[in-house]
Homo-oligomer: A and B are copies of this chain.
């Protein structure tokens, strides 16, 4: 029923603007134009310069034919160019598809084809793999080379134009309208999910805006924040931190790869205050010699996600003065969407107990409406007893638009009004969620998802293999690695190493199994392989080790 508040109070240009993180860059360039936006080796930019370069990129892409809704792919590490893409591509109306640089040519080709990329930016380091991928693609695209002065290794130009030359084609003074709708796509991120073919997770401007603000608020980011890029920007758009950092006009310190020497050198040189990463990043840092830790100039704040941090990691970081916050999420919820929000009274507990409490996935981000553990059959919440297992589900504004060109997967993921994460969890009496099983099939190695089905597919291509099942094996360095169980064809013979090499030839190397066990696979009466039996077997073996 219409009320007095429905009359003459409609949206207008004066009182409505689509939510988009792109405006954060204008804000930073207007308010703090001379503050340092980005440092990468010898290169250093101000917010005024970063804004100008992002606008030049947008202008050039537009002049090269990029139209609203066109996909612009990038195989880039954490460089200034990658940062600029997070603003310049959507400013041109494009959708940024940042691709994991560790993927194999076939997967990259699949992504380029499926995402219908019109433009591809590629760092020279990955020219060989990307060159192979391009040979497999079915679509023409503009290839732009990024030749980072910080990279001295092999590789050559693949493209029609170099990034610097492309920027020179653009005019930063061009007019750029905001997205027509805040629901418009801003990014496309492929996840291996639980099936063989990657699924394209689509983010919108509204969600990117809200999660960027949430990250800034959660961590109290300011213009004095110096953020070290240990987290790949190709991973869920760096958990929205490219946009958060513009919202506070802080300083980004780029990093091509997670390598102890480079990390500590950057922390010392630039007085880094914050960084993020999977447990492997933190464990890599913890393994560094004390002499390196002694160079850290001040307190560090860190986010960990991708897998629950082991208690030993939490304790060791605390001893070194790193204030660790455990966050959790998935590609489908813009990276982290929950946090193990600390409670003051925990500080009085023994360190081991604190680590257990902090190791939980916790509670929802303020900007996400719902994060619950539900019985997937009844869609009712599980009791808060710390033992009843249900499925982790999300709903709200930082849940993806859906999977690109995959209506079936989108419908399944959103069944019943919630996003089904596939992760299994319990809720403790304090309302904090703890994951008990990371989905049924996914293996998370070094923070990256590996689909067990994809590895099984590769194994199944070997002539000696009758049946194969791949499960996660706990690993002190990588979190998990793929462990294969193989049943050979009668009379066939093959060695563990041969099968591993077979997979490495077909998959990104990190996806190949680290170990192979031979023997008959446990099956249900209907012939379905009982993976949970294999998982128990692997865990028992790991526990004994």
Contact = CB atoms under 8 A, between A and B. Distances in A.
Interface of A: 1, 3-9, 11-17, 19, 23-24, 27, 30-32, 67-71, 95, 116, 183-185, 202, 213, 216-217, 220, 222, 247, 341, 343, 363-364, 366, 369, 394-397, 399-402, 404-407, 410, 413-414, 417-419, 431
Given A14-B417, A213-B217, 12 more contacts: A3-B68, A5-B69, A9-B185, A9-B401, A9-B404, A15-B414, A19-B397, A23-B366, A24-B366, A30-B363, A30-B364, A217-B217
A322 B31 CA distance: 23
Contact of A27 (B364, B413, B418): B364
Contacts of A405: 4, 7-8
A310 to B, nearest CB: 24
A27 B394 CA distance: 15
Given A5-B69, A15-B419, A116-B4, A31 B399 contact: no
Contact of A8 (B14, B213, B410): B410
A145 B184 CA distance: 48
Nearest to A363: B31
14 contacts: A1-B67, A1-B69, A3-B68, A5-B202, A8-B407, A9-B185, A9-B202, A14-B418, A17-B395, A17-B396, A17-B397, A24-B366, A213-B217, A217-B217
Q: How many copies does the complex hold?
A: 2
Nearest to A396: B17
A240 to B, nearest CB: 14
B69 A3 contact: yes
Contacts of A404: 4-5, 9
A385 to B, nearest CB: 17
Chain A facing B: main interface SS? loop
- Which 6 A-B pairs rank lowest in CB-CB distance, beginning with the nearest? A3-B69, A13-B417, A9-B401, A5-B185, A15-B399, A17-B369
A421 to B, nearest CB: 11
Contact of A3 (B9, B13, B70, B410): B70
Contacts of A6: 69
A542 B348 CA distance: 60
Contacts of A71: 4
A458 to B, nearest CB: 29
B15 A401 contact: yes
A97 to B, nearest CB: 11
A95 B17 CA distance: 23
A414 B14 CA distance: 6
Contacts of A17: 369, 395-397
Nearest to A20: B369
B23 A95 contact: no
A404 B5 CA distance: 7
> Which one of A5, A69, A405 has the highest number of Cβ atoms from chain B below 10 Å of its Cβ?
A5
A62 to B, nearest CB: 15
A253 to B, nearest CB: 19
A15 B69 contact: no
A247 B210 CA distance: 14
Contacts of A341: 31-32
Contacts of A417: 12-14
A93 to B, nearest CB: 10
Contacts of A202: 5, 9
B395 A13 contact: yes
Nearest to A207: B15
B217 A397 contact: no
A189 to B, nearest CB: 13
B369 A30 contact: no
Given A9-B202, A31-B431, A363-B30, A4 B396 contact: no
A16 B363 contact: no
Contacts of A394: 14
A52 to B, nearest CB: 15
B30 A431 contact: yes
A4 B115 CA distance: 9
A413 B406 CA distance: 46
Contacts of A3: 68-70
Nearest to A19: B397
A208 to B, nearest CB: 13
B184 A5 contact: yes
B419 A14 contact: yes
B402 A247 contact: no
A116 B4 CA distance: 9
